[in-house]
Amino acid sequence: MEDCVFCKIVRGDIPAYKVYEDADFIAFLDIKPINKGHVLVISKEHYRWTWEVPEFGRYWEVVKKITTALITSLSAERVQYITLGEAVPHAHVHIVPRYKNDGLKPLPDWDKTKEFSADEMKNISDKIRKQI
């Protein structure tokens, strides 16, 4: 889809801090993270909803692979998966790492995002990528 921001990331029109990529899926850091290491996993082909992705099971295997890397590389205590799909009309799964005493409520507050410098984002993405 021409105007979709995630399709633009897939095409390379918009830069992203990638942590994973294969023939069908790509994962990158959210630019408005709820927590350190917040990753989005998307299908390379444009689908509106996660359940429309033909390789649904393999999609979640990729999510699991990223989760393991997040927990290992960033010492996350656990993760939350969020598949709202409201802000960007392209199938995506948010993987939000949770840390002990991270100050977040049980359900993340989308209005309270964190900021990291470009160097920090690169460092975070490098750490995750090295664990995959």
Take residue 95 and report the two structure tokens written for it. 């993987």
The residues of the chain scoring below 70 in pLDDT are none
Take residue 113 and report the two structure tokens written for it. 């995002």
pLDDT tens column, 104-113: 888 878 888 9
Per the structure, the count of domains in the chain is 1
Q: CATH no. for residue 88?
A: 3.30.428.10
* pLDDT at residue 106, rounded to an integer: 85
* pLDDT at residue 103, rounded to an integer: 86
Instruction: Report CA dihedral (65, 110, 54, 8) to the nearest 10 degrees.
Output: -90
How far is C-alpha 69 from the chain's CA centre?
12
Residue 83: which domain range?
A: 5-131
* pLDDT at residue 108, rounded to an integer: 78
Looking at this protein, which amino acid is placed at residue 43? Answer: S
Catalytic residue annotation: 92
* pLDDT at residue 74, rounded to an integer: 97
Q: What is the pTM of this model?
A: 0.94
Task: Map 55-116 to HEC letters.
Answer: CHHHHHHHHHHHHHHHHHHHCCCEEEEECCCCCCCCCEEEEEEECCCCCCCCCCCCCCCCCC
